[in-house]
Amino acid sequence: MAIAVTGIGVACGLGYGKTAFRKGLLDAPNLFSVLKREGREAADGEIPFIGVELLDLPETLPPRLARTASFPARVALTVLEEAWSDAGLDGIDPDRIGLVVGGTNLMAREQALAARSYADRLAYVPPRHGHMFLDTDIGGLCASRFPIRGFCQTVGAASASGSVAIIEAMSAIRSGRVDVCIALGALQDLSAHDLHAMRSLGAMGSARFSEEPGRACRPMDADHDGFIYGEASAALVLTRSEWAGAGKIYGTLLGAGHVADGTRGPEPNSAGQVRAAELALREAGLAAADIDYVNGHATSTSAGDIAELETWRALDLAHARINATKSIFGHGLSAAGAIETTAVLIQMQAGHLHPTRNLDNPLDAGLNWVGPGAGAVLHDIRHALKFSFGFGGIDTALVIAAPDIERRAE
């Protein structure tokens, strides 16, 4: 059963909303700098952390509620509101609407700040801290503001969480549990502790480009030295294609693959990635030859990029155009799958592919890259393949079809 995307809400370093997202994606300005949000300071004598942070959040909540909501929860409400009105969900039976939030340990930065602030005065910890740092507070807050009464669920799949949220939302619609399901990639609010640990682990960069933040995030380039964090969140409204009727849609999810590859830690596994893609293609009834655009997971880590290149070669995808969305607004971690699927859909709508920033020396020059030089390139996507992988051996792939011209969302 094909699933249509009928609404989108998005937030990242490019700004809030689809208009800023589309323009920024195609223009690809440099967004990277030293992280400044409180609680992301590097230890004394250490290289500061590089990444992309959101602009000031447009406050839509009453102040009484806003002060009780974590930053990821407030951003989630913002993207949900945009997606909700985009899809025109007012009037749909609330019992037939579900929400899947992708991501775990989302409120780490604010929780670390609170732990520090109350370390010597535990007796005065605000009772609110007993629920506002739970990942499920996002779904709770969303359903308290929007008539979502089918179900709310939070799924964890590390950096594949956004894609797994989409896959679980597809599944909820296919099973008949709901008619409409929102997949929301939540903002992963990293603390200095997380940032430092991921840099120590060798997963996060960038020691090499600490003086030139704009060059630090370079997926699939010979000089990559780790992923670079970017705050992000996106919500996608999914429904059965026939249920969407003749209305405008962004694209159709034709197939999904989600497998375990048996890895515990951060190491990638190409065999698992290939299996996920094969499952997605089989469900879509397509072959790799039918894919004309690949949106990679492409994190900019050494091991990750090399394993993914092996995957693309094994699947024989050399003919397809390829770019790496993380090169523009960084790695959204829990949100990556959702916001990068959004990037696929927005590129379908735009009829252009965004450039890959910093891809000066591709690790594999035999692939059909959209490089850094020429800006956005004309390309009418028909069938896209989107990869997302997560620590803990999680591999996912989505096959996404462009809508017919007359059905395209404006």
Partner 1 sequence: MDSSKIVEMIIAEIRETVPELADEPITGADSMAELGVDSIERSEVILATMGKLGVKIPMVQLHGPKNIGELADLILDKSAG
Task: Tell me the closest approach of the beta carbon of residue 124 to partner 1, in angstroms.
Answer: 4
- Is the Cβ of residue 62 or residue 366 nearer to partner 1 in the bound state? 62
Residue from 56, 91, 121, 264 in contact with partner 1 (CB under 8 A): 121
Residue 57: which residues within 8 A CB-CB, separation 6 or more? 16, 71, 74, 75, 78
Sketch the per residue contact string, 72 through 111, with partner 1: x for CB under 8 A, - otherwise. Answer: ----------------------------------------
Nearer Cβ to partner 1, position 129 or 407? Answer: 129
Phi, psi of 240 (to 5 degrees): -60, 140
Q: Does 123 participate in binding partner 1 (rule CB under 8 A)? A: yes
Q: Which two tokens stand for residue 370?
A: 């959209």
> Per-residue string for binding with partner 1, 25-54, x by CB under 8 A?
------------------------------
Among 43, 44, 56, 64, binds partner 1 (CB under 8 A): 64
Distances in Å between the Cα of 217 and the Cα atoms of 99, 335, 343, 376, 395 are 32, 17, 17, 18, 22
Pick between residue 64 and residue 264 the one whose CB is nearest to partner 1: 64
Shortest separation between residue 67's beta carbon and partner 1, angstroms? 7
Q: Of 356, 405, 348, 407, whose CA–CA distance to 378 is shortest?
A: 348
Any contact of residue 23 with partner 1 (CB under 8 A)? no
Structure-block tokens of residue 159: 């950096």
Question: According to the binding rule CB under 8 A, does residue 116 interact with partner 1?
Answer: no
Q: Which part of the chain contacts partner 1 (CB under 8 A), choosing from 124-132, 138-146, 165-173, 234-242?
A: 124-132
Stretch binding partner 1 (CB under 8 A), from 62-70, 94-102, 157-165, 361-369: 62-70
Q: Which of residues 121 and 264 has its CB atom nearest to partner 1 in the complex?
A: 121
**Which range, of 125-133, 352-360, 370-378, 384-392, touches partner 1 by CB under 8 A?**
125-133
The residue within the footprint of partner 1, chosen from 1, 47, 55, 125 (CB under 8 A), is 125
- 127 forms part of the interface with partner 1 (CB under 8 A): yes
Structure tokens at 332: 């959204």
Which of 45, 62, 262, 265 lies at the binding interface for partner 1 (CB under 8 A)? 62
CA atoms within a 13 Å half-sphere pointing along the CA-CB vector of 300: 35
| Closest approach of partner 1 to the CB of residue 121, in Å | 6
CB of 68 to partner 1, least distance (A): 8
- Of 28-36, 123-131, 294-302, 397-405, which part binds partner 1 (CB under 8 A)? 123-131
User: Given the rule CB under 8 A, which residues bind partner 1?
Assistant: 62-64, 67, 121, 123-128
